[in-house]
């Protein structure tokens, strides 16, 4: 009787498949409501409703803490519980690439808005692009430097990534840290450029299209920097190994996507749209 | 005895099919996870050095050259602005108040100016209101 019980119990403990069946988790439903609060708060705040700022702050705190708690679970599953088998990693990476495809379409819509207004400029804005009275930014000044900074950061992250796979801890840390420094420099220069620009977001369709496209990209750079920073902290804390660093690879894929979007922005919005 | 024979048969069968059916097994030998991992690591050691060279001997000089270029371009731009100010009695020429410029239907949640407001380059909408 006892022997059979032990045999059964061991059979239950052994997993015959490579997939990861997640435990019941409160985070998806919590995060859904947090995101609803966050976006509703943003609309209320921007349209001047009472306490809109309070709802926005609450939504932000709920969303960011919900994300942190969810990611903490994923990190313990990956690093401590060994749930990330090859099969699970393939599924996660597929998810990352599908997410990036959805991001491509989000950027497609702002590019569409930009080309819609710039390819045949309306008579109300002087029938020209840039519209009359708008002094565009010189593409071969800070935007060019930003291009070089982003391209270099793409090389640094590859250096760090390959070093991680090769088991070269110091080089992995160096490469990732350099990427983060260049990413922060990029954001700082964009802030400077926004402050020095002679036009604002409220200067007709040029201002709207310029700040919507470069601003959406800027937010992605900030998120990508945090994404790589998480990978960096995990490398320093020995979470990531030569063969298990899925989160870091997702951050790298995301970073290259952000980099490519910038190249299109530089060519279309800064160079062609500012000439 | 039959129990022993069964166990021997079972483990022999398992041993023969192990490498075929379990691609994710960490067993040694060609085609195994360990062999694949060793090949990846070996390859990565070479590419790490390549990307180290690209980073330090390609990217850093490119950034340095670009910083020098941008510094000059920005200095020229600033000198041009000063020249325009001097020609125009100490301030930049006023941009005509086109209808599509400085649109305000209602204030931003923080006031009339944008978050990146700069009194040297933007019209002070707080004063206009």
pLDDT tens digit string along B39-66? 999 999 999 999 999 999 999 999 999 9
Whether A24 shows a pLDDT value over 80: the answer reads: yes
- DSSP H or E stretch at residue B38: helix B33-53
Alpha-carbon distance A140 to A130, whole Å? Answer: 17
CB contact set of A90 (below 8 Å; sequence gap of 6+): none
If DSSP codes are grouped into helix, strand and coil, which group holds residue B63? Answer: helix
A166 lies within 8 A of chain B by CB: yes
Q: What is the pLDDT of residues A201-251, one digit of tens each?
A: 999 999 999 999 999 999 999 999 999 999 999 999 999 999 999 999 999
Which segments of chain A belong to CATH 1.20.120.80? Answer: 85-274
- Residue A159 CA, chain-centre distance (Å), reads 20
Options 1.10.287.70, 1.20.1050.10, 3.90.1260.10, 3.40.50.2300; CATH for A23-83 is: 1.10.287.70
A133 lies within 8 A of chain B by CB: yes
Which of A51, A148, A151 has the most B C-beta neighbours within 10 Å, making it the best mutation to test the interface with B?
A: A148
- Superfamily classification of domain A85-274: Cytochrome c oxidase, subunit III, four-helix bundle (1.20.120.80)
Which of B50, B109, B120 has the most A C-beta neighbours within 10 Å, making it the best mutation to test the interface with A?
A: B109
Whether A265 shows a pLDDT value over 90: the answer reads: yes
Confidence of residue B12 (pLDDT cuts 50, 70, 90): low
Q: Which two tokens stand for residue A111?
A: 């590019």
If DSSP codes are grouped into helix, strand and coil, which group holds residue B108? Answer: strand
Alpha-carbon distance A271 to A130, whole Å? Answer: 11
Residues of A in contact with B44 (CB under 8 A): 162-163, 165-166
Q: What integer pLDDT is reported at residue B32 of this predicted model?
A: 85
Residue pair A170/A236 in contact (Cβ under 8 Å)? The answer is: no
Q: For A167, name the nearest residue in chain B, comparing CA atoms only.
A: B41
Which segments of chain A belong to CATH 1.10.287.70? Answer: 23-83
Residues of A in contact with B66 (CB under 8 A): 144-145, 148
A203 lies within 8 A of chain B by CB: yes
Q: What integer pLDDT is reported at residue B61 of this predicted model?
A: 97
Q: What is the pLDDT of residues B93-125, one digit of tens each?
A: 888 889 999 999 888 999 999 999 999 889 999
Which of B100, B117, B119, B122 has the most A C-beta neighbours within 10 Å, making it the best mutation to test the interface with A?
A: B100
Q: What integer pLDDT is reported at residue A5 of this predicted model?
A: 63
Chain A closest CA to B129's CA: distance in Å? 15
* pTM for this model (two decimals): 0.87
Q: Per the omega criterion (within 30 degrees of 0), is the bond before A130 cis?
A: yes
**Pairwise CB contact (< 8 Å): A145 & B55:** no
Confidence of residue B16 (pLDDT cuts 50, 70, 90): low
Residues of A in contact with B98 (CB under 8 A): 125-126, 131-133, 204
- Residue A14 CA, chain-centre distance (Å), reads 37
Alpha-carbon distance A231 to A88, whole Å? Answer: 19
Residues of B in contact with A191 (CB under 8 A): 116
Q: What is the pLDDT of residues A72-111, one digit of tens each?
A: 999 999 999 989 998 999 999 999 999 999 999 999 999 9
Q: Which two tokens stand for residue A204?
A: 């007709």
């Amino acid at each position: 009787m006892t022997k059979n019980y032990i045999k059964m119990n061991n059979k239950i403990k052994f997993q015959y498949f490579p997939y990861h069946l997640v435990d019941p988790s409160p985070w998806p439903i919590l995060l859904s409501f947090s995101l609803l609060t966050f976006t509703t708060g943003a609309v209320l705040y921007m349209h001047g409703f009472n306490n809109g700022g309070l709802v926005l702050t609450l939504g932000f705190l709920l969303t960011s803490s919900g994300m942190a708690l969810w990611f903490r679970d994923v990190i313990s599953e990956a690093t401590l519980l060994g749930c990330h088998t090859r099969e699970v990693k393939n599924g996660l990476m597929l998810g990352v690439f599908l997410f990036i495809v959805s991001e491509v379409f989000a950027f497609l819509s702002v590019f569409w808005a930009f080309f819609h207004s710039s390819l045949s400029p309306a008579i109300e804005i002087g029938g020209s692009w840039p519209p009359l009275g708008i002094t565009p930014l010189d593409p071969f000044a800070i935007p060019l430097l930003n291009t070089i900074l982003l391209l270099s950061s793409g090389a640094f992250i590859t250096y760090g990534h390959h070093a991680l796979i090769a088991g070269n801890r110091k080089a992995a840390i160096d490469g990732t840290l350099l990427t983060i420094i260049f990413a922060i420099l990029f954001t700082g220069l964009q802030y400077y450029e926004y402050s020095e620009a002679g036009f604002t977001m409220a200067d007709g369709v040029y201002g709207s299209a310029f700040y919507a496209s470069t601003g959406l990209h800027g937010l992605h750079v900030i998120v990508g920097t945090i994404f790589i920073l998480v990978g960096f902290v995990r490398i320093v804390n020995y979470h990531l190994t030569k063969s298990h660093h899925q989160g870091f690879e997702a951050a790298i894929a995301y970073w290259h996507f952000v980099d490519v979007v910038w190249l299109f922005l530089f060519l279309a919005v800064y160079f062609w749209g500012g000439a | 005895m039959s129990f022993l024979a069964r166990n021997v048969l079972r483990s022999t069968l398992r041993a023969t099919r192990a490498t075929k059916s379990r691609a994710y097994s960490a067993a040694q030998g060609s085609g195994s996870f360990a062999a694949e991992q060793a090949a990846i690591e070996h390859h990565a050691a070479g590419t790490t050095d390549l990307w180290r060279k690209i980073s330090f001997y390609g990217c850093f000089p490119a950034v340095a050259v670009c910083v020098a270029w941008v510094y000059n371009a920005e200095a020229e731009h600033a000198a041009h602005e000063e020249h325009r100010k001097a020609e125009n009695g100490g301030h930049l020429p006023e941009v005509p108040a086109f209808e599509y410029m400085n649109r305000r239907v209602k204030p931003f949640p923080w006031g009339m100016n944008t978050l990146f407001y700069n009194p040297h380059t933007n019209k002070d909408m707080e004063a206009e209101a």
